[in-house]
């Protein structure tokens, strides 16, 4: 393992003013997105949409440090035959790959899941590296409801994340470690805070036990936020303060950076929360974004499956990427959203 090289990639992934585009939706997930805009979920349409984003060269170069790809996309070629991964690299971004095989029900743990995908991971990573991937992503899903999460669920998911991370580093690929405490449910922000701290502490204990070099990872956590069904929705200020406090208590300073997931927040909410955290400051890591829906919802609507809408799609993508880039520097202002609208 070349830790200096891994650290260099990790540092580049959290470059100030830039963030990570999560374009790794599975075929089933992107179908839901396409259904919402009336687009047929074909391989060609999936390619055309993602190619439209990747060819937004100014946006990619100025605001996108890396792109998480679904396996199909990593091995796809553009309409003109250029590998999509080469388009990403030409724009100065780092290609990455989602390698987990999704969450599956945990036997004996009703309502809980564990992420699968460790079998054959080394072999797959070697092929992905040859294709151009330099980082990977694995998502563990932790739900909050009556009686859950259980310790068994938290421990199992943390262990799998740590094994994945160690295998990635062995294959010279930077692991994005993504333990997501879901914002679904009616829990308040205090409960999310409690569970997030437990999950992060457990994850870092497992990373230590599995001999993962923290200088060669990027953490992709949830923000500490109220459940969608909570009668009390926390303010932007409280989300920012609680999130930073929770991470300060659990995340070692040797981690190069934090790339938050949006987790079902609206576009503007995800931007406002990231901005508020960076304005507070006082933390040892770089803090940026790794958003999927919060970066892509408006570009998808603008595109709507029509080639003639490519310019509008790229303009919408540029706006959201720029807003989040500013938020990663603590320089976003709400009036910039209104001006663009």
Q: Of 178, 180, 206, 286, which residue is the catalytic one? A: 178
3-340: CATH, from 3.40.47.10, 3.40.50.300, 3.20.20.70, 3.50.50.60: 3.20.20.70
Q: In the structure encoding, which two tokens stand for residue 141, read together? A: 């899903």
Please state the pTM of the whole predicted model: 0.96
Question: Which H, E and C letters describe 22-55, residue by residue?
Answer: EECCCHHHHHHHHHHHCCCCCHHHHHHHHHHHHC
Q: Would you say the C-alpha torsion 194, 197, 200, 203 has a positive or negative sign?
A: negative
Name 97's bridge partners: 69, 136
The pLDDT, as a whole number, for residue 217 is 98
The pLDDT, as a whole number, for residue 335 is 87
The pLDDT, as a whole number, for residue 84 is 98
The pLDDT, as a whole number, for residue 340 is 58
Q: Verify whether residue 338 is a known catalytic residue.
A: no
Q: How many Cα atoms are found within 13 Å in the side-chain-facing hemisphere of 155?
A: 4
Q: Outline where 55-133 has alpha helix (H).
A: 57-63, 71-74, 84-90, 121-131
Kindly report the number of other CB atoms within 10 A of residue 81's CB atom.
Answer: 6
Q: Verify whether residue 89 is a known catalytic residue.
A: no
Alpha-carbon span 257 to 289, nearest angstrom? 10
In order along its 341 residues, the chain shows pLDDT tens digits of 999 999 999 999 999 999 999 999 999 999 999 999 999 999 999 999 999 999 999 999 999 999 999 999 999 999 999 999 999 999 999 999 999 999 999 999 999 999 999 999 999 999 999 999 999 999 999 999 999 999 999 999 999 999 999 999 999 999 999 999 999 999 999 999 999 999 999 999 999 999 999 999 999 999 999 999 999 999 999 999 999 999 999 999 999 999 999 998 999 999 999 999 999 999 999 999 999 999 999 999 999 999 999 999 999 999 999 999 999 999 999 888 875 54
Alpha-carbon span 101 to 48, nearest angstrom? 24
Q: Of 18, 98, 137, 220, which residue is the catalytic one? A: 220
Alpha-carbon span 75 to 235, nearest angstrom? 42
Domain boundaries, given as residue ranges, for the chain: 3-340
């Amino acid at each position: 393992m070349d830790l200096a090289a891994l650290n260099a990639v990790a540092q580049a992934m959290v470059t100030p003013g830039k963030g990570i585009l999560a374009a790794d939706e599975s075929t089933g997930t992107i179908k839901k997105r396409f259904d919402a805009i009336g687009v047929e979920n074909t391989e060609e349409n999936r390619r055309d949409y993602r190619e439209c984003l990747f060819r937004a060269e100014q946006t990619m170069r100025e605001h996108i440090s890396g792109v998480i790809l679904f396996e199909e996309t990593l091995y796809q070629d553009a309409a003109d035959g250029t590998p999509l991964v080469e388009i990403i690299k030409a724009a100065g971004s780092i290609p990455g790959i989602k390698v987990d095989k999704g969450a599956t029900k945990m036997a004996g743990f009703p309502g809980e899941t564990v992420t699968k995908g460790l079998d054959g991971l080394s072999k797959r990573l070697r092929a992905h590296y040859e294709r151009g991937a330099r980082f990977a992503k694995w998502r563990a899903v932790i739900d909050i409801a009556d009686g859950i999460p259980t310790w068994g669920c938290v421990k199992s998911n943390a262990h799998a994340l740590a094994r994945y991370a160690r295998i990635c580093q062995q294959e010279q690929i930077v692991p994005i470690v993504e333990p997501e405490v879901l914002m679904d449910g009616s829990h308040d922000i205090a409960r999310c805070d409690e569970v997030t701290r437990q999950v992060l502490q457990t994850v870092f204990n497992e990373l230590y036990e599995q001999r993962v070099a923290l200088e060669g990872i990027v953490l992709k956590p949830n923000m500490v936020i109220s459940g969608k069904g909570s009668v009390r929705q926390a303010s932007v200020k409280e989300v920012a303060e609680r999130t930073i406090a929770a991470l300060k208590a659990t995340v070692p300073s040797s981690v190069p950076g934090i790339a938050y997931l949006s987790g079902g927040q609206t576009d503007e909410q995800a931007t406002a929360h990231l901005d508020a955290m960076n304005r507070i400051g006082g933390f040892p890591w770089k803090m940026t974004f790794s958003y999927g829906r919060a970066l892509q919802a408006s570009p998808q609507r603008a595109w709507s499956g029509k080639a003639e809408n490519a310019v509008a799609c790229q303009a919408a993508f540029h706006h959201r990427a720029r807003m989040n880039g500013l938020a990663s520097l603590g320089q976003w202002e709400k009036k910039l959203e209104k001006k663009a609208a």
